[in-house]
Structure 1
Amino acid sequence: MGREEQIEEREVLDSIFPEEITDISDTEYRIAVKLNPPGDEDGDEELEPPTLILHVRYPEAYPDEAPILDLSPPANAPLHPRFSVSADKEHLMKGLEDTVQENIGMAMVFTLVTTLTELAEQLMTDRKEAVERVREEALQAAEREENKKFHGTPVTPETFLKWRDDFVREMEEQRQREEEERVAELKKAKIKEAPKLTGRQLWERGLIGKVDDEEDEPPSEQVEKLKVAAA
């Protein structure tokens, strides 16, 4: 009875895994299980998906007795950052124990392959999420540090009084500076402004004749006299 069920299961598996299954003997074979890891922004989706090999050997009483199982990586398999058959083998094999016990008396290899795939892909998902959590925590920490630059000192009566005194002092200093600058500008303007002499002042200095006579003369004649006097 056991051998008939083994042959029947093997035929079914050959239709499900036509390229993945390889016979070793009449009661032993291996199945290449290709995983579908979650992609992320680090570019892991561009890596070759990891594959593991499930070795199956039927004991004489299978399926009333558990199959003999083993896991191994393919030859020359590239390393994947989220999965390693050698490192994860113990966890995966332990994860298959409940499935084996639940299916004693029935053909179970397809169920075992499904469970194995789910376990391995969940491992990769958990590791991806762990990396993302670490990255997110690092970003949040950096953001908190950046936000500290924009947080002022908490306002208390003491800090307000200090701010008010500083503000009043700064305003007074600014007023004094502006007043000093205004006075300095006025002084410069007075220095640059040429003095304007009246007719009497010009006569007293001997630059022109009598004021009354000169004031009646046209400006051009007065200018000529000024030139002569200057000469």
Structure 2
Amino acid sequence: MGREEQVEEREVLDSIFPDEITDISETEYRISIKLDLPDDNNDDETDEPPTLVLHVRYPDDYPDEAPILDLSPPQNAVPHPHFSVASDKAQLLKGLEDTIQENMGMAMVFTLVTTLKEEAEQLIAERRAAAAQVHEEAMLAAEREENKKFHGTPVTPETFLKWREGFLKEMEEKQRREEEEKLAELKKAKVKEPVRLTGKQLWERGLVGKIDEGEDDDGIPVDQVDKLKIEA
């Protein structure tokens, strides 16, 4: 009776998956399952949805006994950022255990394919959502750091006292520099004595005739010269 049900199920599956199913033997075959994903992939994801291959082998007493299942990726499969048959196989096969128990005694491969497809798609959706949340949190953190440049530091009694101390020190330093600069300017300022022209320079400039007759050649009044001689 088990073999008859196996043949019947196999014929039904061939009509459902005409291009996806491949026979290995009379009691063993594999089904290629292409996942359906929302068309909102990020730039870092592949455009091609992942595919997994379900291997099915009937034991003699199937469907009264659970089928022997295995998973593998198709040849030359393009890696997907959120799904790997090698890494996710154990989890996906374990997720079929309840479905197998619920359908024991009945043809169940189509139900297993449907459940497996939904579980794999849900797994990818959760991982994509988690990745999107991490990305969003990173963007928000970067935005908060950028906004700190414009909001400045909140004013508290402690921050005000610290600012006031620094401000007073800055003012004292500024006043000290200004006083030093003024002192330096005063030291540089010297009263220069008038330049005394020589006789030659007076002659060249036509000033010889303008010398006061009451003065000697050095420009000192004659009576002053006499006085200096007497005092000497």
Q: Give the TM-score range, shorter chain.
A: 0.5 to 0.7
Q: 2:11 aligns to what?
A: 11
Cα distance in 1, alignment partners of residues 68 and 129 from structure 2: 33
| 60-69 vs 46-55, greater mean Cα deviation | 46-55
3-state DSSP class of the match of 2:24?
strand
Q: 2:75 aligns to what?
A: 75
3-state DSSP class of the match of 1:71?
strand
Q: 2:125 aligns to what?
A: 125
Q: Which amino acid in the other structure matches residue 110 of structure 1? A: F
Q: In the TM superposition, what are the counterparts of 1:12-51 in structure 2 within 5 Å? A: 12-40=12-40, 42-43=42-43, 47-51=47-51
Select the structure that is richer in helix: 1
3-state DSSP class of the match of 1:14?
helix
Change beyond 3 A, Cα 1:157–1:6? closer
| Runs of 5+ consecutive residues of structure 2 not aligned to the other structure | 168-232
**1:63 and 2:63 correspond:** yes
Identity of aligned residues (%): 72
3-state DSSP class of the match of 2:123?
helix
Q: 1:211 aligns to what?
A: none
Q: In the TM superposition, what are the counterparts of 1:156-171 in structure 2 within 5 Å? A: 159=160
Change beyond 3 A, Cα 1:152–1:2? same
Q: How far 1:37 sits from its partner (Å)?
A: 2.9
User: What TM-score does the superposition give when structure 1 sets the normalisation length?
Assistant: 0.65
Contact 2:54 2:72 in 1 (8 A): yes
Cα distance in 1, alignment partners of residues 42 and 115 from structure 2: 27
3-state DSSP class of the match of 2:90?
helix
Q: 2:228 aligns to what?
A: none
User: What TM-score does the superposition give when structure 2 sets the normalisation length?
Assistant: 0.64
Cα distance in 1, alignment partners of residues 146 and 45 from structure 2: 33
Q: 1:134 aligns to what?
A: 134
Task: Give aligned pairs, total.
Answer: 164
**Where does structure 1 differ by over 6 angstroms across 4 or more consecutive aligned residues?**
none
Q: In the TM superposition, what are the counterparts of 1:154-193 in structure 2 within 5 Å? A: 154-155=154-155, 159=160
Q: 1:149 aligns to what?
A: 149
Q: 1:99 aligns to what?
A: 99
Q: Which amino acid in the other structure matches residue 127 of structure 1? A: R
CA RMSD for the aligned pairs?
A: 2.2
Q: How far 1:69 sits from its partner (Å)?
A: 0.5
3-state DSSP class of the match of 2:141?
helix
Q: How far 1:155 sits from its partner (Å)?
A: 4.4
